[in-house]
Amino acid sequence: MSVLAAQAVDPELARLRDSIDNFDAALIHLLAERFRCTQRVGELKARKGIPPSDPDREARQVARLRKLAVEAKLDPDFAEKFLAFVVKEVIRHHQTIAATHESAIDNERKS
């Protein structure tokens, strides 16, 4: 039976999948908003000479989100892996921002 046929046969399946689609869309929008905020953090860090990575904050975030995951009945290991993936990408962005900022300063000094 095809997916479309299964949904036509079982309206509850279709409703549940619609809900999942809505959650996925919300996650994408939340991640986009989070990355807009971390972009500003990266720019601020670059201007102030703060390293892109903050292991102490990252450890506090892991502990906080693991606790939230348990409270939400979500696997805390999954939550930690998800956060690690996001933080790795944020740090990569911050490194790029810092390098661009340093390059701009070097160019100003040469002028």
pLDDT value of residue 84: 97
Domain CATH code at residue 71 = 1.20.59.10
Domain of 90 in residue numbering reads as: 3-110
State how many domains the chain has.
1
pLDDT value of residue 17: 92
Tokens at 90, concatenated? 């944020």
In single-letter form, the type of residue at position 97 comes to: I
The per-residue pLDDT string of the chain (111 residues; one tens digit each, 9 = 90 and over) reads 566 666 567 889 889 999 999 999 999 999 999 999 999 999 999 999 999 999 999 999 999 999 999 999 999 999 999 999 999 999 999 999 999 998 888 777 787
pLDDT value of residue 85: 97
Rounded Cα–Cα distance for residues 63 and 66 (Å): 5
